[in-house]
Amino acid sequence: MAQSQLDQFSTLLSTTDTRKKIAVGTDIINYLGVPTNSIECDDIGQFIDGLVPWLQSSNFKVESMGHRLSVLIRF
């Protein structure tokens, strides 16, 4: 089975580079902003586990983006 776009984003969530996190977050927000795009992936738990450190980040932009993403995927 081919990886979904959300699965591909999931692997990028673990980056430690703040600029990359903001870029990845923006890409995910744009992806989830299209109503026809699916939020289904092989392991939603892995996606959420990758997002938790964003919510705990000391960087305001990363933490804020983590909250926006959590609202968009409704967890």
What letter represents residue 46's amino acid? Answer: Q
Tokens representing residue 14 in the block? 């673990």
For residue 60, give the H/E element and its range: helix 60-73
Q: Residue 3 has what pLDDT?
A: 62
Structural domain for 28, as ranges: 5-73
- CB under 8 Å to 3, separation ≥6 — which residues? 41, 42
* The total number of structural domains that make up the chain: 1
Q: Residue 27 has what pLDDT?
A: 95
Q: Residue 18 has what pLDDT?
A: 95
The pTM of the full predicted model, rounded to 2 decimals, is: 0.84
Q: Residue 40 has what pLDDT?
A: 84
Tokens representing residue 73 in the block? 């995927």
Helix (H) and strand (E) counts in the chain? 4, 0
In this prediction, the residues of the chain whose per-residue pLDDT falls under 50 are 1
Q: Residue 44 has what pLDDT?
A: 86
- Rounded to the nearest integer, the mean pLDDT of the chain is 89
Tokens representing residue 34 in the block? 């299209």
